[in-house]
A and B are shown apart, each in its own frame.
Chain A
Amino acid sequence: MEDDEEEPPLAVQIDEEIKHSTQRPPNDDVSVGVTVITGYLGSGKSTLVNHILNSQHGKRIAVILNEFGEEIGVERAMINEGDGNGGAIVEEWVELANGCICCTVKHSLVQALEQLVQRKERLDHILLETTGLANPAPLASILWLDDQLESSVKLDSIITVVDAKNLRFQLSERRNSSSFPEAFFQIAFADIVILNKVDLVSPEGSGGVLEELEKEIHNINSLASIIRSVRCQVDLPKILNCRAYEATHAAHLEELLEESRSLSTKDLHDSGVRTLCICEPRKVDLDKVRLWLEEILWDKKYGMDVYRCKGVLSVQNSDQLHTLQAVREIYEIVPARKWKVEENQMNKIVFIGHNLNEDVLNDSFRTCTTS
């Protein structure tokens, strides 16, 4: 080992180009997306991670295995070096800055990810694989940073891997007990659901069962896109760079504005987790909307438990379409773009949660209109 060496090796030139890139101040253009991957043990989560790490995609991707948490203070990272190193996979330790987390704005995990990005010459994406975590919401809260922080990392999406063979059983577990099984939270908070092991369910391609499963998933969260897979062989472009938490990202708005699509869950037991959509054509007073939303998210008015919320708002005295996004108690309303001339200006808000009441939401939202 080198500590025995008497003679120093030859010092190497600091590559100006590399030096410049590592000292580049982070900004929106180059911030690295972080995808949270969640799912039951055995769903194929690790297979997905291995697939992403090992396929020849030329991208430099780091996977953090969220195994230890703050108490131990380190996490293990596997990094695919991409083209630069022939796709070799390197293992590293990421140290969490322990200490006074309470007067710093960024959680120690975020700081650790930023340091990882700074150390690497170029990272295209980061995956955070949750191990043993029931509810991805706390991670989403930590990772959904204020734009003002100009962080070198940003939350890209939450992906839940579900096991097609066992999903029904996992969901029905909760109906027999008083607490929610993890499957509900994991699906409710997902932007993408990978329906894995489809080959084990319908080997002859009789799609009926799979359609049923997809319906169950959409009953809980009708905003999630579902990708069927065998052994998690998924196309990388489909799951990376979703920009699901970017207020102005166009694709999500189009989804919401699509008039024909009904987003409310139809059949359900009221106590279940489901999706609900409210619509209102008249313009709204933004201050009233904030108060209305805060009463629901912060005060738990009406006894509803909202997990996720996404919407578009038609705001009084503004030609801007505003987007609304919420994860548990954290929310953001931001002007996104001008309404197009041909667009039907409309308020449309989707709620995913528990104990949701459509009438109450519609009636209370109506009090925010200005006419």
Chain B
Amino acid sequence: MSGGSDVADTTSLSCARCGKPARLQCPKCVELKLPREGAAFCTQDCFKASWSSHKAVHLKAKLSSLGTGTPHEQNSDLLNEDWQYCLKRGQARTQKLPHFDWTGKLRPYAISGRRAVPPHIELPDWAADGIPKTEPNSDLQHVVEIKTPDQIERMREACRIGREVLDAAARVIQPGVTTDEIDRVVHDATIAAGGYPSPLNYHFFPKSCCTSVNEVICHGIPDARKLEDGDIINVDISVYYKGVHGDLNETYFVGNVDEESRRLVQCTYESLEKAIAIVKPGVRFREIGEVINRHTTMSGFSVVKSYCGHGIGELFHCAPNIPHYGRNKAVGVMKAGQTFTIEPMINAGVWRDRMWPDGWTAVTADGKRSAQFEHTLLVTKTGVEVLTGRLPSSPNVFPWLNA
């Protein structure tokens, strides 16, 4: 899901071994035209000390062009073992923290083993082998479906469960809790409601929800890191229930956050709210991006451009594609019976994103924070129904809602 691999002006390479600024690079990597990230060193000494582990990168590059992987990564048993770092979109694990020129302070931590799903739960077609079969080739990638009353009813239920699961996650958020523990709560709550957590093994994603902290834009993988006072964290839930998906996310404060973070999160909440307010039959999908962009730039923030809202129903992701930035060429107008998500990601700094070595986690190119909110929506004859809307029982975690 790499949305863009651009490097911000201010980022420079750090030594792959000690993290100091790097001025030297591995000549073999240059020859093989491998990325400079992970192949840069501050001195010949650091390079020499890293050599025995670094040279595996050359072997891997050669082997991956032949379609195989290095032994210490492609062991499927490893995927079930606890507490390894995630690589290759979830298809591999490694014992050591991968090399990368991290854009901010956050680092990946080890992730736990795969959580089990009891046999009575209805599974989407990627649950077993990680590969969606129906979704990629479906006509619904090109045509926006009008849902039948039965599909709509099932989506109301799936979205309701999603809302309850997200609320359960929100209730456990506090300093000291790990994102892995949040994932445990999400997984158990989803199963208890009779649903399947859609992200689990979707294109090999290793966990049951996405947890995106601080500079992570989206698709953060739950791991062993403890939340810290002052963090912001987005939890993204998707539930598969009675054959349909519901998708929602919210960004929460951990303890006391600074003013800038509070402004960022509130602006993101409001931009989603304003976008939802224009949803009704006849409105162009393109217009959503204009509304979000206007509100965001007025507040001095920027809109992430690499990820978009999407149609949802019996497929997790389908047509339409809904960009969140302005001046886009999105095709089509809204019609009653369509269901889709709007999920703006707003950054405190630049809009550009980069991808961590795990192949999922998208981070801001400048290391500044990012916030997101998402709802699944149904277009009605006169307007919109927010299928994943807050309930009276939802935790009171957004100060501006009390104002």
Tell me the nearest residue of chain B to A99, going by C-beta.
B203
| Contact present for B5 and A115 (CB under 8 Å) | yes
Q: Is A88 in contact with chain B by the CB < 8 A criterion?
A: no
Bound-state Cα–Cα, A70 to B203, Å: 14
Tell me the nearest residue of chain A to B7, going by C-beta.
A23
- Give the top 10 A-B pairs by smallest Cβ distance, nearest first: A102-B317, A8-B51, A11-B24, A99-B203, A11-B47, A23-B7, A3-B59, A100-B1, A329-B331, A12-B27
Residues of A contacting B93 with CB < 8 Å?
none
B21-77 residues at the A interface, CB under 8 angstroms: 22-28, 30, 33, 35-36, 40-41, 44, 47-48, 51, 54-56, 58-59, 62, 65
Q: Is B280 in contact with chain A by the CB < 8 A criterion?
A: no
Task: Give the size of the chain B interface in residues (CB under 8 angstroms).
Answer: 62
| Contact present for A146 and B22 (CB under 8 Å) | no
Tell me the nearest residue of chain B to A5, going by C-beta.
B55
| Contact present for A99 and B24 (CB under 8 Å) | no
Q: Is B328 in contact with chain A by the CB < 8 A criterion?
A: yes
Bound-state Cα–Cα, A102 to B307, Å: 9
> Shortest beta-carbon distance, B118 to chain A, in Å?
26
| Contact present for B306 and A14 (CB under 8 Å) | no
Q: Tell me whether A12 and B317 are in contact in the complex, defined as CB-CB below 8 angstroms, given that A104-B1, A330-B329 are known contacts.
A: no
Q: Is A105 in contact with chain B by the CB < 8 A criterion?
A: yes
Task: Give the size of the chain A interface in residues (CB under 8 angstroms).
Answer: 47
Tell me the nearest residue of chain B to A97, going by C-beta.
B2
Residues of A contacting B23 with CB < 8 Å?
13-14
- Tell me which of B8-16, B107-115, B155-163 binds A: B8-16
Bound-state Cα–Cα, A26 to B308, Å: 21
Q: Is B327 in contact with chain A by the CB < 8 A criterion?
A: yes
| Contact present for B136 and A101 (CB under 8 Å) | yes
| Contact present for B24 and A102 (CB under 8 Å) | no
Interface 1/0 per residue, A4-37 and B, CB below 8 Å: 0101111111100001001101100000000000
| Contact present for A102 and B141 (CB under 8 Å) | yes
Q: Is A149 in contact with chain B by the CB < 8 A criterion?
A: yes
Residues of B contacting A331 with CB < 8 Å?
329
Most buried by A among B62, B65, B329, B332: B329
Q: Is A57 in contact with chain B by the CB < 8 A criterion?
A: no
Residues of B contacting A332 with CB < 8 Å?
329
Q: Is B195 in contact with chain A by the CB < 8 A criterion?
A: no
Q: Tell me whether A25 and B24 are in contact in the complex, defined as CB-CB below 8 angstroms, given that A148-B326, A148-B328, A330-B331 are known contacts.
A: no
Bound-state Cα–Cα, A149 to B54, Å: 35
Quick one: which of A106, A119, A148, A294 contacts B3, CB cutoff 8 A? Answer: A106
Q: Tell me whether A23 and B11 are in contact in the complex, defined as CB-CB below 8 angstroms, given that A13-B23, A105-B306 are known contacts.
A: yes
| Contact present for B308 and A104 (CB under 8 Å) | yes
Residues of B contacting A12 with CB < 8 Å?
24-25, 27, 30
> Shortest beta-carbon distance, A273 to chain B, in Å?
22
> Shortest beta-carbon distance, A44 to chain B, in Å?
30
| Contact present for A2 and B36 (CB under 8 Å) | no
Quick one: which of A14, A70, A329 contacts B22, CB cutoff 8 A? Answer: A14
Bound-state Cα–Cα, A13 to B306, Å: 34
Bound-state Cα–Cα, A11 to B50, Å: 12
| Contact present for B36 and A100 (CB under 8 Å) | no
Residues of A contacting B36 with CB < 8 Å?
14, 19, 22
Q: Is B318 in contact with chain A by the CB < 8 A criterion?
A: yes
| Contact present for A14 and B327 (CB under 8 Å) | no
| Contact present for A105 and B333 (CB under 8 Å) | no
| Contact present for A13 and B3 (CB under 8 Å) | no
Interface 1/0 per residue, A93-110 and B, CB below 8 Å: 100011111111110000
Interface 1/0 per residue, A320-337 and B, CB below 8 Å: 000000000111100000
Residues of A contacting B318 with CB < 8 Å?
102
| Contact present for B58 and A3 (CB under 8 Å) | yes
> Shortest beta-carbon distance, A165 to chain B, in Å?
37
Q: Tell me whether A9 and B6 are in contact in the complex, defined as CB-CB below 8 angstroms, given that A103-B310, A104-B307, A148-B326 are known contacts.
A: no
A sample of 7 inter-chain contacts (CB < 8 A) reads A3-B55, A3-B59, A70-B136, A93-B65, A100-B203, A329-B331, A330-B329
Q: Is A114 in contact with chain B by the CB < 8 A criterion?
A: yes
| Contact present for B51 and A106 (CB under 8 Å) | no
Q: A13-B23, A23-B9, A104-B308 are in contact. List 13 more A-B contacts (CB 8 A).
A: A1-B62, A3-B58, A8-B47, A9-B28, A10-B27, A10-B44, A14-B24, A19-B36, A23-B7, A100-B1, A104-B1, A148-B325, A298-B331
| Contact present for A118 and B323 (CB under 8 Å) | no
Interface 1/0 per residue, B324-341 and A, CB below 8 Å: 011111011100000000
Q: Is A92 in contact with chain B by the CB < 8 A criterion?
A: yes
| Contact present for A105 and B5 (CB under 8 Å) | no
Residues of B contacting A115 with CB < 8 Å?
5
Bound-state Cα–Cα, A97 to B219, Å: 15
| Contact present for A11 and B317 (CB under 8 Å) | no
